Amino acid sequence: MNKDRLTKILGEEPTGMSSAGGGCIADSQIVSTRSGKKFFLKQGFTNGMFEKEAHGLQELTLPGVIRIPKVIDVGEDYLILEHIEGGARKKDFFEDFGHQFALLHQYSAPKFGFFEDNFIGSTPQKNIASDAEATNWPLFYWNNRLFFQFRLAEKNGYADEQLTSLISKLENRLEKILENSEEPPSLLHGDLWGGNYMTDESGNPVLIDPAVYYGHREADLAMTKLFGGFSKKFYEAYQETYPLKPGFERREPAYLLYHVLNHLNLFGLNYYSQTVHLLKQLQ
């Protein structure tokens, strides 16, 4: 984005831009202005990704329980957020984070899904549910998460006979696997791993880079375990605030599977064996 355009959007002249680094798939920069303010600029896509991310961030602010970067402006090819200075975690960081995340999940909606489709990483995520899916979590999760990713794997050439057979068997078992965990649809971050939260200048947690929808909260918690980055105290505080229904450990592989399938589609066959391992756990 050129300087004149950025000046018009921000209402003041930028005096410097520096790379934000990190693992974000977009081109991310910190913009400094003449008044001393800083903004976080993301650009590099023109597929609606930034508008969807803005809507997700705005949705996450509704419960008012955890810090979310404020959306300053968004367009087809850019997203401008408040710049949050990173800091050291305060002493009770993970206890507070677990408690706040549980409160976020207590914010609910009448139906599963979201008002629009969005993205998980750079993969499209289907959120617009049929009437049947909107009130039936196993059906929503199968059609819009697991089977959608499987069809992408077929398209990408990763769905061999073994994977196809295991997925077919899971379709007939998923409802049984998820039974007795029924709950109202919770507001989900959708892609919470160690790289999608940060610590602000006061040592408090901040959620970033969401893939928001309303679904089963166990799906959000499963993703936190895929790559680590969350302490035991996070889960203990969560359970004290909003206890999970019995059997959540048994259901966890079904929720991990969505994200591992997504990584298979994004990054290739290095995730094939992990995908098969999870599917075998669910047979």
Q: pLDDT of 251-279, one tens digit each?
A: 999 999 999 999 999 999 999 999 999 99
* Band (230; pLDDT cuts 50, 70, 90): very high
Residues 188 and 242 in one domain: yes
Catalytic choice (96, 191, 209, 220): 191
Q: How far apart are CA 106 and CA 244, in angstroms?
A: 12
Provide the β-strand partners of residue 80.
41, 73
Residue entry with tokens 């909003």:
242
Chain centroid to Cα 278, Å, comes to: 20
Give the amino acid at 70.
K
Residues 189 and 270 in one domain: yes
Look at residue 87 and tell me if it is in a domain: no
* Band (18; pLDDT cuts 50, 70, 90): confident
pLDDT in the model for residue 243: 98
What is the per-residue pLDDT across 83-113, written as a single tens digit (0 to 9) for each?
A: 999 999 999 999 999 999 999 999 999 999 9
- Contact (CB, 8 A) for 120 and 190: yes
Q: DSSP secondary-structure letter at 113?
A: B
Q: How many distinct structural domains can be found in the chain?
A: 2
Residues 218 and 189 in one domain: yes
Domain of residue 15: give its range: 3-82
Q: Which among 63, 82, 101 is the end of a domain? A: 82
Which of 26, 3, 118 is closest to 79 using CA atoms?
Answer: 26
**For the chain, what is the radius of gyration of the CA atoms?**
20
pTM of the model: 0.95
Look at residue 88 and tell me if it is in a domain: no
Residues 56 and 133 in one domain: no
Domain containing residue 131: CATH number: 3.90.1200.10
Domain containing residue 32: CATH number: 3.30.200.20
- Contact (CB, 8 A) for 111 and 214: yes
Instruction: State what percent of residues in the chain have pLDDT above 70.
Output: 98
247: CB partners within 8 A, 6+ apart: 180, 181
Residue 271, φ and ψ in degrees, nearest 5:
-100, 5
Residue 23, pLDDT > 60, answer: no
Residues 150 and 260 in one domain: yes
Counting DSSP H helices and E strands in the chain, the numbers are 11, 11
Q: How far apart are CA 67 and CA 203, in angstroms?
A: 11
The answer to whether residue 200 is catalytic is: no
Residue 49, pLDDT > 60, answer: yes
* Band (179; pLDDT cuts 50, 70, 90): very high
Q: How far apart are CA 156 and CA 42, in angstroms?
A: 28
Both tokens of 134, joined, read 């909107």
Residues 233 and 146 in one domain: yes
The SS3 call for residue 25 is coil
- Contact (CB, 8 A) for 99 and 238: yes
- Contact (CB, 8 A) for 9 and 79: no
Supply angle C-alpha 193, 142, 154, rounded to 5: 85
DSSP string over 141-194? HIIIIIHHHHHHHHHHT---HHHHHHHHHHHHHHHHHHTT---PPEEE-S--SG
